[in-house]
Chain A
Amino acid sequence: MKAINTEHLTKYYGSKRGIVDVSLSVDKGDFFGFIGPNGAGKSTTIRTLLGLISPTSGSATVLGKDIVKDKTEILSLVGYMPSEASFYGGMKVKDLIAFSAKMRGIDCSVEAKKLCDRLELDMSRRVNELSFGNRKKVSIVCALQHSPELYILDEPTSGLDPLMQREFYSILRERNEKGATVFLSSHVLSEVARYCKSAAVIRDGGILVSDRVEKLGHTGVKRVCLRCTQELPDIKGAKDIKRENDSINFLYSGDIKLLIQELCNISFEDINITDPDLEEVFMHYYVKEEN
């Protein structure tokens, strides 16, 4: 059984595109990063999985349950954290967290207290007086206090300071090691590269790639750095060519031998061929291809 499985999931808001034909599969126990630029469809996908919006076509299951028919059941197994949380004004942090637990029909005040301590969240304050980062922490506690099987987190770290981000990820790792699945969206490429086991890239409403993070790094694409003053000949497979003073920098995908042959025709002082780092791979998907 998959933690999340979507098949040709499509959502249009009237005629406006949300997501188109999204087929995504997340294994149980995975730590999955869902990345893409603003407006790519990350939140639309997540909101559809949680039944906040209904799909135009396609289907999806969460923990083996259908997102349309078994909505309530799914919600009881999932901890969700929205990208921008708003709460009932005037309520105290501890009352809000307790309300969230009671709506789930469970008492997890001990766990809530532990989480608040770790995140340094003052439970006696009123939610409407909190800063963006502190509201985010309230959201985290509401999503984590009932120790669900699956965590669906929409841009969880935006607004958190670096120390808190680290603490948050270490909590998630602990939960993940105990068997829970983590699915988080982000546009911070480095954090996905650092913490996630698998990742998918979404752009313009469609999934571009989805794989294990280590495999995503071995794309057969090389970053080539040449030190030379000559113009680069037209090499097939060279992309993203940038000239900077006396060096040329480009991405190459294709047969390495052909590249070497082409480069024999020009003179250069030095050459450096490396695997691009993961961030660069993601960036490559981010930026629209010219043709």
Chain B
Amino acid sequence: MGYQDYINLSVEDELIERKEVSVVSEYDKQNDFSLESSGRRYDRQFFTMYQARLNELKTRVDSRAMKQWGNGTIKRDNKVISKVDKILNITSNQLCWVSGTIFVDLKNKLNIFNDVEKGIDDVLPQIPKSYISSEGTDDKVIMLEDESGRAILHGDDKLKDQLFVTGAIVAVLGIELQAGIFEMIEIIHPEIAPIRPMNPKSNSKIAFVSGLEISDSVNYDFKIDLLKEFFQNNPKSKDISHLVIAGNSIKETDQDIGEEYVSNNNYGSKNISKFNDKSLKLFEVFINEIISNCNISIMPGPSDPTDICLPQQPLHRSFFVNNKNYVGNNIRSLTNPSWLEIDSIRMLGTSGQNIDDIVKYLSPEDLQNKDILLKIMKSTINWQNIAPTAPDTLYCYPFENNDPFTLTNETPKVYFIGNQNEFKSELVNVNNENMLLLTIPKFNQCGQLVLLDTVDLSVEIIKFET
């Protein structure tokens, strides 16, 4: 068959109506990551945030560990397992378990003291691509700490599958053979908060896209036009009831990038905008084209014009120019991370910073795993904290006595991460409930749109190629 046989095969035009989905205007955890528009304090220490995380998760990890290891009631290798309340109270050659916060020391982690020493503490430092030095992983030191002190964790090969990042709360079974070094035998994570069952009322699809990186006319990606056209008049898109844009919608302009810092003109009148007005205008045009036929939820990402720190606050409605009056109804400008509830499906998503930062803790061997992104996502669910490395290596607002990244009383039904290099999805069983993990690829690289079925949580992708 020649291509002529396929020319204009579509049915004669008729009014195609998009499927609608119930998106409640107000839902639980809607504002979990919202910050007050005024009165934000950046002069606080992060201690209370860690403390809040520890308080929330320690009880849950302790109760789980108590069931499994007990306190003087269970034997392992003819040794009685005992519980130790504080790390400082660990005694040598005693099989015991203790809970606390993981701290991972790596050579390439940013260090304010080094910046002060070099006199570059007043500029935005360049974040390294990996916290592991190029020499290898020998410089990696994993520690467990609580308010009493720290112990260096040392594990055997069985624990190689475990991911260790700063900020995760775990319980560790082991024995102190040398002073200050705790040999790990097993690890237990906190009890996982329940997942709310979903009850979808419509059979539709939710679309996810991230990394559009709309730039000025010269660098504009034509695939974005194909995406717009797909939404506007491709009959295959009629089942899409909602579009979620998971960050990096707008591309930053090229910056003066130094080796150790982003720019030396970050403050005061010398601060230069990272965005040009043309890309903002084209972003507004894109939004206009999409909302003409589909409702959207939009989250900011690392390249978008909003906060650097997590949680990033919603894009200001002024960016939507002529469509700003629809912000709140047809356009939902969300935080990053953000909870969503579409057709009773509880979703939690980020624009990718939390996962990207954890990737920097991993060794090259770990990164060879094709499913490493899903593994990291599972780990964050196991840790019950979606951004454990904040505030250690991930910029984060200094919350006071609160850690919004901790899953306190609910685990999402769908957990998605934007701006990844490839699409991945996995349906995992958590507390006898199915939970979907989803990575949304960068559109400007992959040209992919992810569709999620609201009934069976099946996933498919639409590729746009040029």
- Does chain A bind chain B? no
